[in-house]
Chains A and B, each alone.
Chain A
Amino acid sequence: MKPTTLYEKLWRAHVVREEADGTALIYIDRHLVHEVTSPQAFEGLKLAKRPLWRVNSILATADHNTPTTHQEVIADPVSRLQVDTLDKNCAEYHITEFPMGDHRQGIVHVIGPEQGATLPGMTVVCGDSHTSTHGAFAALAMGIGTSEVEHVMATQTLISKRAKTMRVVVDGVLPKGVTAKDVALAIIGHIGTAGGTGYAIEFAGSAIRSLSMEGRMTLCNMAIEAGARAGMVAVDETTIEYVKGRPFAPQGELWDKAVNYWRTLVSDEGAVFDKEVTLNAVAIEPLVTWGTSPEMVVSINDCIPDPQLEKDPIRREGMERALKYMDLPAGKPMSSISIDKVFIGSCTNSRIEDLRSAAEVLKGKKIAANVKLALAVPGSGLVKAQAEQEGLDVIFKEAGFEWRNPGCSMCLGMNDDRLSAGERCASTSNRNFEGRQGAGSRTHLVSPQMAAAAAIAGHFTDVRALIK
């Protein structure tokens, strides 16, 4: 038989029907729902008097609007209405929801895997572009719009066409202080924010194999920042070990049957990809973004690039605009950029391993005097509890961080956690777009360890000097 890519296997396993032109109906196994992109979908269902196709495919939680400080009810009435609307819709349709206050509540892309609601071989969708995260489990996971949320609710399918396939191979051993986040940024810097458009990316190679599931989730999470709707990693022992015993995961005989199937979820030897990209893990350094697109990224030991050296006029203009917005001059060393705030959290970097790695850097240290606020926001109630059991909260608090409740928080600031205009943030989130963390905000994307190092120094600094 012809060798097949992982993507092709996942695609074929979910085709309900396919038209001659390649337009297909793809069956959706897991539908994750949050408060921001679902109200209009529920409204559409109600107006058309359509039932949910399969209620137990859905897991819902509120994450974008939820306050990270203790609030009995959400103070902002507009946010409160959106969260209440989700609660009401879930109650009406008997959907499993982890509402605010539930110890399992958290960022949708953290709780899915944590609960075992994301399993290898699944199709996973959510009205959220970072749904690519779940591809870490060899799932076909994609962000969708609200119309598609409604379509999945009503039909359990998505209208789709095969994506092109790209394999990004990262071989070698990642140096200490270089994490999955740096690998993600290195890939985006290499192929660009539109480099993955139209593709499903499989991340492979020895450096990827040696990543934990948390690291793989960070990597797949940022596939969308390279333009790819889906990112994925093949199944191995790390995948199976992570899933085992999770609340929604199969047990007993079914577990054995499932594992047998899951082990086939790898690209066959000799499978052909439409595009191949190779990176050397040893050469990847801790990275920091300098502009307003994740592809505007350099090593901590580099300087801000000079737009005048860019030949393409549109790119040059983009660089100039970004530097103006970021209030930074070309040629400035990255390590000389001082910061106002630090954010450790988001669906990219709020899992237990992220908090552990930041705490390792922070232990026994204090944040710099010029850092006005440092936030640590665990990805879920369970991550928070685990971190507290390990005493990580104490390390964060003693260093001067605020230890908050789970949610999307300052990644996009739909709750109260925002930057003020002109403020500069070392952020473990995924987007450094203009205004992303608040109107006029300036975001630099980094790994949790690099964010912790910047918090202590008050400016960006090479974390490798701190963790020998």
Chain B
Amino acid sequence: MQAFTQVTGVVLPIDRSNVDTDAIIPKQFLKSIHRSGFGPHLFDAWRYLDEGQPGQDCSKRPLNTGFVMNQPRYQGASILLARDNFGCGSSREHAPWALSDYGIRALIAPSFADIFFNNCFKNGLLPVVLPEAVVDKLFKAVLATPHYQLTVDLTNQQVRTSDGESFSFEVDGFRKYCLLNGFDDIALTLRHAEDIKTYEAQRQLAEPWIFGVNR
């Protein structure tokens, strides 16, 4: 996994609450059996005027110029600013894959949906929860200032503006450790393989039906 320590970059504001994972990456792209290539289809239905198809060349598609992501000032964004309950709905990890493939490294919102939040950490993406008032302030600043940039610093758990203002955020210790080091969860868990085997043996005695043969 790609490690995350600190990112400074252009902020893309998606100013609506309850953005669901169907919107982040629509269903037709879930047919892919690969992890990459979703970036051109991030927010596909909002971003283009036609209906997207998997595997197509998106460079010639008609853009919805009214959608914030298509405005020149937000090109190259690496931080996404959002409202409440971002990433709700489907568990599709294609959503963080699409964000990451597009170039987003960190997300800032007052709240995230549980499964999406979790999926971000598995893909080197940092979801940052900041109070609604702070997020509101950042939205105002982004909209007022072309090419507005922020720094998201995981080591110090801070979001910083270019004029020196900073906002602290909480992050789970284990997740921070994994993200800072780019660690693969599975390798970490397998260090506890003996514990898992011991547990499994006990359960097998107590609840043997869990371990029955499939019929």
Contact = CB atoms under 8 A, between A and B. Distances in A.
Interface in B79-138: 83-85, 88-93, 96, 111, 113-115, 118-119, 122-123
B185 A59 contact: no
Interface string A392-414: 00000000000000000000111
A27 interface: yes
B33 A154 contact: no
A380 interface: no
A85 B172 CA distance: 36
A25 B22 contact: no
B214 A248 contact: yes
A349 interface: no
Contacts of B17: 314-315, 318
A90 to B, nearest CB: 12
B200 A19 contact: no
B123 A147 contact: yes
B189 A25 contact: yes
B27 A227 contact: no
B146 interface: no
A133 to B, nearest CB: 13
A17 B174 contact: no
B153 interface: no
Given A25-B195, A147-B185, A229 B33 contact: no
Contact of B214 (A40, A56, A155, A228): A56
14 contacts: A25-B189, A29-B210, A39-B33, A81-B31, A82-B32, A119-B209, A151-B185, A193-B88, A194-B18, A257-B209, A318-B18, A414-B30, A431-B22, A436-B22
Contacts of A23: 172-174
Given A40-B34, A50-B186, A439 B123 contact: no
A433 B114 contact: no
Interface of B: 16-18, 20, 22-23, 26-28, 30-35, 45, 51, 54-55, 83-85, 88-93, 96, 111, 113-115, 118-119, 122-123, 172-174, 185-186, 189-190, 192-193, 195-196, 199-200, 203, 207-215
Interface stretch (A156-164, A170-178, A449-457): A156-164
B200 A27 contact: yes
B113 A197 contact: yes
Interface in A141-190: 143-148, 150-151, 154-157, 159, 161
Interface stretch (A120-128, A303-311, A366-374): A120-128
Q: Which interface residue of A229, A414, A433, A436 has the most chain B CB atoms within 10 A?
A: A433
A250 interface: yes
A96 B215 CA distance: 8
Contacts of B23: 433-435
Contacts of B84: 194, 314
A145 B33 contact: no
A317 interface: yes
Contact of A439 (B51, B88, B91): B51
Contact of A435 (B45, B88, B185, B210): B45
A409 to B, nearest CB: 12
Q: Which interface residue of A117, A146, A257, A434 has the most chain B CB atoms within 10 A?
A: A146
Given A25-B196, A78-B54, A147-B119, A431 B20 contact: yes
B16 A317 contact: yes
Contact of B27 (A19, A37, A412): A412
Interface string A108-146: 000000000101011000011101000000000001111
A79 B31 contact: yes
A339 B174 CA distance: 50
A321 interface: yes
A56 B209 CA distance: 12
B20 A433 contact: yes
A293 B91 contact: no
Given A16-B195, A37-B91, A144-B91, 18 more contacts: A16-B196, A21-B173, A27-B199, A36-B30, A37-B93, A48-B186, A76-B31, A145-B122, A155-B186, A155-B193, A159-B185, A161-B172, A194-B113, A250-B209, A314-B16, A318-B18, A431-B22, A439-B51
A198 interface: yes
Nearest to B136: A314
A65 B190 CA distance: 33
A386 B134 CA distance: 56
A247 B174 contact: no
A431 B89 contact: yes
B196 A248 contact: no
A93 interface: no
Contacts of B27: 412-414, 436
A147 B179 CA distance: 14
Contacts of A272: none
A273 to B, nearest CB: 18
A227 B85 contact: yes
A64 B88 CA distance: 19
Contacts of A16: 192, 195-196, 199
Given A154-B190, A439-B51, A433 B111 contact: no
Nearest to A128: B91
B45 A434 contact: yes
A64 B89 CA distance: 16
B118 A148 contact: yes
A258 interface: yes
A73 interface: no
Q: Which interface residue of A53, A249, A314, A318 has the most chain B CB atoms within 10 A?
A: A314
A157 B85 contact: no
A16 B199 CA distance: 6
A1 interface: no
